[in-house]
Structures are given as structure tokens and as C-alpha cells.
Amino acid sequence: EAGVAQSPRYKIIEKRQSVAFWCNPISGHATLYWYQQILGQGPKLLIQFQNNGVVDDSQLPKDRFSAERLKGVDSTLKIQPAKLEDSAVYLCASSNRARLMSEQYFGPGTRLTVT
């Protein structure tokens, strides 16, 4: 089966600019996650969707970050305006809700550099 797709793979922007990332999960996976991974650390969950509804966004900086999954498939994560500390890899993952508490499948990530 095809894996989780993400684009772009790399993005360089200046602080205060905006940026958007796209994710296409594995077909049939109802649960989608966005993680932020700062260099040298483990991934930190930003937001979790179940179909097109938000399950957990407690660690999403809502003053600048937003995410949507309108049709319960693809998702976009936006940062506006970006800060230097947003430099990180943004990972998208999906899981099969039918298998409760199952493994997550990760995309290759988008490496964001804010200058």
C-alpha cells in the first residue's frame, strides 16, 4: 500500500511569513496526526484528527498554527506568522482506527527553516 505522502519536503521562509504543509494519509486510515520534531528531540503531537474532527489539539499554538482536514482525507497545517523557533521537521502520521491503539505510519516530513 502507498505510504503517507507529504509536501513540500523542504521549505525556507523568513520570520513573519506564512507557510502551509500538506499531508495525504494511507487510504482508509481515519486518524491523522501532525507532529513537530525539533532537532535532537522526539516528535511532539500538535493535533490529532479522527475523520474530519479534531480529537486533540492541546499542544497546538493556536495563535499562529491552524490545521484542517475538510473531507476526512487530506490535511493541511499552516503557520502564520512564523517565528524562528518554528524551525523543525513537521511530520504527518496516520493510523487505522479499527485497530485500537495501533501503530502509526509516518510520512517523510517537511523540514522547515525560518530565518
Partner 1 sequence: SQQGEEDPQALSIQEGENATMNCSYKTSINNLQWYRQNSGRGLVHLILIRSNEREKHSGRLRVTLDTSKKSSSLLITASRAADTASYFCATAQGGSEKLVFGKGTKLTVNP
Binding residues for partner 1 (CB under 8 A): 4, 31, 40-45, 48, 55-56, 91, 93, 95, 97, 100-109, 111
Is the distance from CB of 65 to CB of 112 less than 8 angstroms?
no
Closest CA to 47 of 11, 6, 91: 91
Question: Measured from the CB atom, is 5 or 81 closer to partner 1?
Answer: 5
Question: Measured from the CB atom, is 52 or 104 closer to partner 1?
Answer: 104
Q: What letter represents residue 12's amino acid?
A: I
- Residue 1 CB, nearest approach to partner 1 (Å): 14
- Residue 8 CB, nearest approach to partner 1 (Å): 14
- Residue 71 CB, nearest approach to partner 1 (Å): 21
- Residue 77 CB, nearest approach to partner 1 (Å): 15
What residues contact 40, with CB distance under 8 A and at least 6 apart? none
Question: Measured from the CB atom, is 81 or 108 closer to partner 1?
Answer: 108
Distances (CA, A) of 92 to 14, 15, 16, 115: 23, 23, 23, 23
